[in-house]
Chains A and B, each alone.
Chain A
């Protein structure tokens, strides 16, 4: 009962936020709504018993990406112009509607939530549940899969994330230092 209530309300909020984001023009408000969107989906993940996914969503979606987008907004200038649409939106609307209908049709084949006979539950999961302790000696199954069975995969992911972080820091930090130098030069000229 409470599950259904929470699910329906959170999904309604999610849809409201998404439509509002698509229709707004104030970029700062849109970034704040992104944060709310991420918190809402994290709440839905918790209700669906995926606490680790919800944790990642809250940390990355509501935390880091909001701050990164705000930093980008602070660095860039407001170049948006309100100009009338040069084309009619019927073709994009039709493409989106057909794609959405195909995706909804695709979800009909997905097994119902928590079904023990669903393919993901019967494929390799039993092996991990029975053998991960004997194979790797790691008590947590998710950690065993991520850090031992798929260790090289995780190493590659870490390398990608590290490279992206370095690139972002170079972009943000370099710009800020340059601005400070310009301000200092301006001050010297005045003196």
Chain B
């Protein structure tokens, strides 16, 4: 049972990693990292139950918080910063520069 759950989580992690590697847009990669963090939380929770070290569940909860805050911070920066991958924002910036 635990092995099946672990394999399922690891396969999902692999899929998220593949999306982070290939992902054509910025948002694909952000979603992939967020999902990878969620899978890490799940993996730690399964491992905690399997190995009987239930104190690891606290760590999993803290991971979920860090993941959430981190993605919010990344999204804010993407909204306000220019990451050279969005042609529209670059054109806008060039226009501002020429004015």
Q: Which A residues lie at the B interface, using CB under 8 A?
A: 1-2, 5-6, 9, 13, 16-17, 20, 26-29, 32-33, 35-36, 39-40, 42-43, 46-47, 49, 51, 54-55, 58-59, 62-63, 66-67, 70-71, 73-75, 77-78, 186
Given A2-B50, A5-B3: A39 and B40 within 8 A (CB)? yes
Contact check: which of B14, B29, B74, B81 meets A29 at CB < 8 Å? B29
The secondary structure that dominates the B interface is: helix
Instruction: Digitize B33-54: 1 where CB-to-A-CB distance is under 8 Å, 0 elsewhere.
Output: 1001100100110010010010
How many chain B residues sit at the interface, stated as a range, is: 35 or more
CB distance from A111 to the nearest CB of B (A): 22
A55–B62 CB distance below 8 A: yes
Which A residues lie within 8 Å of B66 (CB)? 58-59, 62-63
B55–A35 CB distance below 8 A: no
Given contacts A13-B17, A58-B66, 20 further A-B contacts (CB under 8 A): A6-B43, A20-B21, A27-B84, A28-B26, A28-B83, A35-B36, A35-B70, A39-B37, A43-B43, A58-B62, A59-B62, A62-B37, A62-B66, A62-B70, A63-B66, A63-B69, A70-B73, A70-B74, A74-B82, A74-B83
* CB-nearest residue of chain B to A47: B47
Within 8 A of A (CB), among B1-23: 2-3, 6-7, 10, 13-14, 17, 20-21, 23
A35 to B44, CA, bound (A): 17
A26 to B83, CA, bound (A): 10
Given A13-B14, A28-B85, A58-B66: A71 and B77 within 8 A (CB)? yes
B84–A78 CB distance below 8 A: yes
A186 to B29, CA, bound (A): 36
A2–B6 CB distance below 8 A: yes
Which B residues lie within 8 Å of A36 (CB)? 17, 20, 32-33, 36
CB distance from A26 to the nearest CB of B (A): 7
A29 to B21, CA, bound (A): 8
CB distance from B94 to the nearest CB of A (A): 12
Which B residues lie within 8 Å of A42 (CB)? 40, 63
CB distance from A106 to the nearest CB of B (A): 29
Given A1-B3, A58-B66: A29 and B50 within 8 A (CB)? no
Identify 9 residue pairs between A and B in the complex whose beta-carbon atoms are under 8 Å apart, listed by A's number. Answer: A2-B6, A33-B21, A35-B37, A42-B63, A46-B44, A62-B70, A67-B73, A70-B73, A74-B81
